[in-house]
Structure 1
Amino acid sequence: MQYYGWRRVVRDTTARRGIARRIGTALYIAGPVLMVGAFVSGRAGAPFWLQQVLAWPGYLWMAVSIYLTLALVAGEFVRPVLRRVLERRAATPEPEPTVAAATVEPEPEPVLIGADAKPPTVPERATTEPAAPEPCTEPADPSRRLFVSRVVAGAAAAAALGTVGYGAHNVLSGPRVKNVTVPLAKLPRSAHGFRIAVVSDIHLGPILGRAHTQRIVDTINSTQPDLIAVVGDLVDGSVENLGPAAEPLAQLRARHGSYFVTGNHEYFSGAEQWVDHVRELGLRPLENARVEIGGFDLAGVNDIAGENFDQGPDYDLALGDRDRARASVLLAHQPVMIHDAVRHGVDLQLSGHTHGGQFWPGNIIADLANPTLAGLERYGDTQLYVTRGAGAWGPPVRVGAPSDITVVTLASRQA
């Protein structure tokens, strides 16, 4: 992909030994190196300052490369059309301008009578010929092939940069509030209208830090929910590096408290330390556990990624001995866990993980890998709601998948 981009954007549009080609080539060497460095540095345990230095240019280069490649591929269909149009224009001869000869009629000569009379002379015609064109001294225009390459490359670069800029603005401006009403058959009238603020995939890391957390906390508190559910993928890094970025979570306010379950990224970042830390911040971790809240049961299970650390989901522990006559809400990070929820008679599962695809065409891949990409769907007697999440992983870019914090209002059919 990187070679294709270099060939179309740099090689095909610049002189072989020109300064523009050297700069473009250097950029196409540095960009992929920074991109790989951004991915590897976090997993390799590099100093956090180095992760931050590499993250912005590396991840943005990744996003720009993806959209630039897509735009250039589309340009392959435009390229022959442009060349054909230019060839037709060049082959059409332009009519040469003609200058009519200027005729000067002499005044008639007087007629002489007598011996000295002479025959009248034949009048002569004076003509003015058009001046010969001066030789052109301006340099010749670039070839059609070079012109087409520059037009296509310029348009593709503008489209890629504009798209990534728009997507970055969507992330950095913070999530919007989305409201969803979910009717539950077993929910008693006393719990009708219970509001759960669901937030997932905050992804604190080298790019998204304390200011990002504060925006999310302020947005959640503004909705005045009855309960707050943080459904995994809170962080991409250690407590040592990201503990200060997570501190605003201590400001979360809800009548029935705030709850947390792990996502797959917690297990890349030290899940046990993060569970302890969020507890210190005032959130209650639900590690394969359940609590009774008003007219329903709230349960939470560990993420599937915990199986690699002997900390996987345990539905029997979380749901096995409950009264199935009561309504139940399950917090589970990944939508694929819905099938176990159905087997255990859960009424509503709240999940995240997908980011709604985060940016097109990633939504196509995410949709194939998950039973529900985003929104509310029913599986038998169990409903599944998937939030798009409040942050971003990798490139801080969202295109076609806006971030959200969802306020789920439970509705009783008895009300």
Structure 2
Amino acid sequence: MRGGHLARISYRCGLHGRLGVTRHDVMLPAGRALQRPLRIAFASDFHAGPTTAPALFDLLFDLIAHEQPDVLLLGGDFVSGHARNAEALADGLARCKAPLGKFAVMGNHDLWTDDRLIRQVLAAAGVEVLVNRNLVLGAPFESVSLCGMDDPWTGRPDAAPTFAGAQETRILMIHSPDGLLLTGSHRFDLALAGHTHGGQVALPGGRPIIVPSGPLCREFCYGRFDVKDNGVMLVSRGIGCSTIPVRLNANPELVICTLLPCAA
């Protein structure tokens, strides 16, 4: 796969899957006010490098431009292999427009390499990385905090500063579903994760053949989940390919989630 030639052939043969948009509406509990619905775009697991054809990223950035989200959230694993592979994402991320900003957490593949270089590439594209901290979104969503926690196994996750001082409405970004094990008693309304690729290679109907190691990765492999005593978690199949340049029955996706106030 040196140089990504096999990935380009795979893409031309349709073996990267078909990129599409998956939509979710998430309603806040009663009494929570939003001046208008919050439109969130979430993309994860790019794996820029020898296993993912760059043409797939062009399609993704075109989709983001078409969807016009309020905020763009990125779930990590920007690269496979060397950190400089993140440069394949730089121009496209810089072109993405999101009035409330562009934010990211890091994934295990990022932390296995020179994550400082990846952060520099992201910062140059206007993307702010959140590591165990939160921030308040801009007007008119000052009641919403975006909470980013470090990767559960490769990073140094710490729920206390991740949620410290967060506003009433909380969006949690975690690279892997396993991050749920580390949130403790902290509450969220929406959690966004990737990492699993939906198996990347799955049986017809989407049942994964292989999933990453991790105690929650099979249970929360893909889709929408109501987390007991907490909010909703969305686990994305992600964008790129890891290990092998093939996706079967696990199409790449851009997740568009609309956060809604409770109906009167």
Q: 1:357 to 1:190 in 2, by over 3 A?
A: same
Which protein shows a greater Rg?
A: 1
Contact map agreement 2:79 2:85 (CA 8 A) in 1:
no
User: Unmatched 5+ residue regions in structure 1?
Assistant: 1-37, 39-50, 61-164
Q: Match for residue 70 of structure 2?
A: 226
Cα offset for 1:167? 10
Q: Of residues 192, 195, 215 in structure 1, which corresponds to 2:59?
A: 215
Letter in 2 for 1:52: G
Contact map agreement 2:237 2:250 (CA 8 A) in 1:
yes
SS in 2 for 1:274: helix
Q: Match for residue 296 of structure 1?
A: 144
| 1:56 maps onto 2:42 in alignment | no
Cα offset for 1:306? 3.3
Q: Quick one: distance in 2 between partners of 1:291 and 1:245? A: 24
Q: 1:218 to 1:358 in 2, by over 3 A?
A: same
**TM-score scaled by structure 1?**
0.56
Contact map agreement 2:51 2:242 (CA 8 A) in 1:
no
Q: Match for residue 16 of structure 2?
A: 171
More strand, by proportion = 2
Q: Of residues 89, 93, 96 in structure 2, which corresponds to 1:249?
A: 93
Letter in 1 for 2:233: L
Question: Per-residue displacement from partner, 1:175-234 (whole Å, max 9, x unpaired)?
Answer: 201111111216733254211001011110024254332221111111011110011111
Letter in 2 for 1:273: L
SS in 1 for 2:90: helix
Letter in 2 for 1:248: G
More helix, by proportion = 1
Q: Quick one: distance in 2 between partners of 1:349 and 1:226? A: 17
Q: Match for residue 347 of structure 1?
A: 189
Give the alignment of 1:1-150 within 5 angstroms. Answer: 38=1, 51-52=2-3, 56=6
**TM-score scaled by structure 2?**
0.85
Q: 1:168 to 1:301 in 2, by over 3 A?
A: farther
Q: Of residues 265, 277, 280 in structure 1, which corresponds to 2:124?
A: 280
SS in 2 for 1:203: coil
Q: Match for residue 195 of structure 1?
A: 39
Q: Quick one: distance in 1 between partners of 2:86 and 2:190? A: 32
Q: Of residues 234, 246, 255 in structure 2, which corresponds to 1:385?
A: 234
Q: 1:348 to 1:241 in 2, by over 3 A?
A: closer
Q: C-alpha root-mean-square deviation of aligned residues, in Å?
A: 2.7
Contact map agreement 1:187 1:296 (CA 8 A) in 2:
no
Contact map agreement 1:189 1:414 (CA 8 A) in 2:
no
SS in 1 for 2:183: helix
Q: Quick one: distance in 2 between partners of 1:366 and 1:167? A: 25
SS in 2 for 1:321: coil
Contact map agreement 1:267 1:305 (CA 8 A) in 2:
no
Contact map agreement 2:149 2:158 (CA 8 A) in 1:
yes
Cα offset for 1:317? 1.1
SS in 1 for 2:201: coil
Contact map agreement 2:46 2:78 (CA 8 A) in 1:
yes
Q: Quick one: distance in 1 between partners of 2:133 and 2:202? A: 36
SS in 1 for 2:74: strand
User: Unmatched 5+ residue regions in structure 2?
Assistant: none
Q: Of residues 15, 19, 25 in structure 2, which corresponds to 1:181?
A: 25
Q: Of residues 310, 314, 318 in structure 1, which corresponds to 2:158?
A: 314
SS in 1 for 2:108: coil
Q: Of residues 239, 245, 249 in structure 2, which corresponds to 1:396?
A: 245
Q: Match for residue 363 of structure 1?
A: 208
